[in-house]
Amino acid sequence: MGKGGEDYGKRDDSGSRSPDKEIFPAWAKDVDQCLKEYKVDKDVGLTSDRVAEQRQIYGLNELEEHGGPSIWSLILEQFNDTLVRILLSAAVISFVLAWYDGDEGGEMELTAFVEPIVIFLILILNAAVGVWQENNAEKALEALKEIQSEHATVIREGKRIADLPAKDLVPGDIVVLRVGDKVPADMRVLSLISSTLRIEQGSLTGESEAVNKTTKVVPEDTDIQGKRCMIFAGTTVVNGNCICLVTQTGMNTEIGKVHSQIHSASQNDEDTPLKKKLNEFGEVLTIIIGVICALVWLINVKYFFTWDYVDGWPTNFKFSFEKCAYYFEIAVALAVAAIPEGLPAVITTCLALGTRKMAQKNALVRKLPSVETLGCTTVICSDKTGTLTTNQMAVAKLVAMGPGADTTRTFNVEGTTYNPLDGRIHDWTTGVMDANLQTIATIAAVCNDAGVAQSGNHYVATGLPTEAALKVMVEKMGLPEQFADSSRGSADVLRCCQQWSNIERRIATLEFDHDRKSMGVIVKSATGRNSLLVKGAVENLLERSSSVQLLDGSVVEMDQSSRDLIMRSLHEMSTAALRCLGFAYKKDIAEFATYDGDEDHPAHELLLNPSNYSSIESDLIFVGLVGLRDPPREEVHQAIEDCRAAGIRVMVITGDNKNTAEAICHEIGVFGPKEDISSKSLTGREFMDLHDQKSYLRQSGGLLVSRAEPRHKQEIVRLLKEDGEVVAMTGDGVNDAPALKLADIGIAMGIAGTEVAKEASDMVLSDDNFSTIVAAVGEGRSIYNNMKAFIRYMISSNMGEVASIFLTAALGIPEGLIPVQLLWVNLVTDGPPATALGFNPPDTDIMKQPPRRSNDSLISAWILFRYLVIGLYVGLATVGVFIIWYTHGSFMGIDLSKDGHTLVTYSQLSNWGQCSSWEGFTVSNFTAGARVFSFDSNPCDYFQAGKVKAMTLSLSVLVAIEMFNSLNALSEDGSLLTMPPWVNPWLLLAMSVSFGLHFLILYVPFLAQVFGIVPLSVNEWLLVLAVALPVILIDEVLKFVGRCMHGPSSRSAASKIKKSKAE
């Protein structure tokens, strides 16, 4: 389990072919060493012979296709289930017996074949659903291929090939990348064509922003996020152009390793806790059925043989195959009775209803069994970016200069999204902006390449998130009164930014680069004066600033005290994990005083060489700074508290840096405000270096692993599962897919998530919100509790059926229930009440209880005893009413003789097989509905064809008892006095439907003939109710005993009533 992560970063022989040597650490070698290693000239590229040689070694640059299981193996796998195998055996045997009895022809032949055909149909449907689910399991690997680049611009033999298929790339190829390109392979940056190069690699590494890339060497043991001179397959160039050297292709790339990990994790899919319990139950059921069938045969073995007595000794033994086959049919009936055939259908229905409820709460379930697994989640491993936070940068603080150089003003900025109307600036007077604030707004709006647009109910950013956040801040600042009128009618989302851009028209850009850490723009004002606006890292701007602008717009020299004041503000914001940006400007730009963007202007040459930018951006006037962050979602703090109350631990695993992650975790409540987290917050590398990793994971409270790589996430999930935890893992990127696949519940983000993550997951959050997971866990717990209720109900009903058949065989009376009747009860009559139990209202305190252990028993010893008692009563009632009809003319004052049937003694009934030897035995005719039964030719047929009325009574008693027993299943221990039936009106409706279906087969002649039953009179229905109702009283007594033994559980029942009333 989890082996895909163990070899992360090493050569994988199962992937693309590679030479038998260690991977060359290109990130730790300078450019010349890399070119020498791959035997290539940067300007010429590889020769055709060298390409052929490399392809022979490494193969094509594509991800492997792992052959999935064949359709036949998937079909066979669906029958690898104990309950299904028992049912299949019963169906085959019953089919053979029906075929054997087919010589009799007529209706009996039709009746005999109904049972095996129905069972086969159930099994076929069950297998079809299973195959469909399994067939969708490997779509994550297909989605992974879609994010690969299809073409690349390559230099080979001195020529530039513009559209070379990406699969033809080999290690050593020289590739040219431009803005917008998707990276086709893992590559070492050789040189930058532009001043900067930024790569969006968050989906692979978990970083929340685009990353600057350079040609500089980094240490060999650097983690994936720190490899600043490497760019990885599947990522995207968002800024700049460069020339790169291909170092790894196909399965040896970082995305190839993710592919291997997904495949490895998919090989280790485990059964859900409920499936394990049902399998265990099936194994026990097999033993019980075997024992009971053996007992039935042993009790009735005397009927298999006949013999004569000669001189007092038995002789002439004869074996009766008919009797043997008859009791074999009873054994098959036992199997049918013992197996809750309707259980798979009811579980599927309940889970499907659960998915609809979850969809209403923004949790889209992709795999039905995950609904139930959610209920026993003990650990939620959550990504930070986009799940706990909004994944939308926002300004949190604005620091402007005061009236003097020794004072500053700090404004707190609300809002967590790109919606300009989301939040406000505290202590802000709309329309009143001093000169200093106007300058800050101008620089933030104009020295900016981002945009914000409305898409449906969401606001989305184009360009860098940091710059988009600055524009949103400008909109919240508003405009001074003198400019407000000119933009008041505008419908533009960024109307204020547009106004500042009109006032200061941008004519040239000094692109950001990693060395000076700033971006500048040359603007022409409405008066025709040119000036320079700059934003960038605060420390760098302060080094290049000589003056500072005050509140009223006046400019004074920057002394050490004002510099220290600004640095203190910077330190305060940095300590709070805010990303800080400073603003500055320059009025006197002599070389560019007359520049208007014309390429022929003398100053234009200065702009073509980025090395001149630092000197241009010198002698600046500093105006202020802002602190930005990816803010936590507003509802996450309460969701974390709910998890704590529910006994669920929250572990944050993120690719982001440690300080930022710790600050967010403190803010949302994963850690306490003053909690010592030195032992709880580690980087991925620190975690992997721990001697005892499980001790770290066993700590109570929240945990944090930052700078995490895919293999770290996968290893954490594997260790938690080994420790018996039920793990829910969230993620949105390609890097999260292996851990999503391995976790008990993989949860992908619907908005920000990649298709790879979605396909690897069990559940998708349509709102990307952590609190939705917590709501889904509560729903999962409620669904599991309700599933337990109907599983107990169905199993207790089947125990009653087994007891009925066993008593029939033990007492030697005619068969009271035939297999097709039992099948009808299990599949159709029991189905609606069992499904309705899935609508029981959840406890109001369901998220204040600890999660159940995954090995908790479905049925405790006491519950099993209770249902054995109930089952024994069901058996006695169904067999008893059968005996009553044959032996009593009335019962409890109810007259049963109106149909004219003949009464016999109990002795005659239990020895009915010897009827042919009884002298003078006669039977009168009797009526049942419109039919008249006559036995003049063969009186002994009274115990076979004549038992139709007694069988109908037995079947009706069984149906009525199971309907009343469904009321008992409303609560495990709560009385019907505290948990009345109307707490779940769906159950009352379902009981009506089941009784209606039973009336249908009783009073529709064709159906009555198929099921071997006849209509009942009013008196006979009174007898059915009199025999069935005591099941409620018996279970009420047992529940009372249970409450006395285990303490009152009325709290749970009462909470459900309150919940239903509230609804």
The catalytic residue positions are 383
| Sheet containing strand 236-239, strands side by side | 211-212, 198-200, 236-239
Could you give the CA distance from residue 590 to residue 155 in angstroms, rounded to a whole number?
42
Residue 172 phi/psi, 5-degree rounding, is 105, -15
Structure tokens at 913: 């097989």
Q: Which residues contact 913 (CB under 8 A, 6 or more apart)?
A: 303, 323, 812
CB atoms inside a 10 Å sphere around CB 484: 14
Q: Which residue has the tokens 């009873």?
A: 330
Residues 86, 87, 88, 93, Cα dihedral to 10°? 90
CA–CA distance, 408 with 402 (Å, rounded to integer): 4
How far is residue 481's CA from residue 432's CA, in Å, rounded to a whole number?
A: 7
Q: Which helix (H) or strand (E) holds 577?
A: none
Exposure class string for 44-60: b at 16+ Cβ within 10 A, else e = ebbeeebbeebbeebbb
Which residue in 218, 210, 172, 216 sits closest to 45, CA to CA? 172
CB 623 within 8 A of CB 408: no
Let me know how long the chain is: 1063
CA atoms within 13 A on the CB side of 727: 28
Tokens of 449: 């390449």
Rounded CA separation 163/168 (Å): 11
Closest CA to 465 of 451, 444, 485, 484: 451
CA distance 1063 to 839: 13
User: Do residues 968 and 932 make contact, with C-beta atoms less than 8 angstroms apart?
Assistant: no
Q: C-alpha distances in angstroms, 512 versus 179, 238, 448, 564, 582?
A: 15, 13, 11, 26, 14
Coil, helix or strand at residue 655: coil
3 state SS for 952-1000: HHHHHHHHHHHHHHHHHCCCCCCCCCCCCHHHCHHHHHHHHHHHHHHHH
Phi, psi torsion values for 895, nearest 5 degrees:
-75, 125
Structure tokens at 162: 């513009």
Q: DSSP assignment, residue 389?
A: B
Dihedral angle sign, alpha carbons of residues 488, 491, 496, 499? negative
Dist CA 666 CA 126 (whole Å): 48
How many other C-beta atoms can be found within 10 angstroms of the C-beta atom of residue 645? Answer: 13
* CA–CA dist 959, 932 (Å, integer): 26
Q: Buried b vs exposed e over 608-638: b needs ≥16 C-beta within 10 Å? A: eebeebeebbeebbbbbbbbbbbbbbeebbe
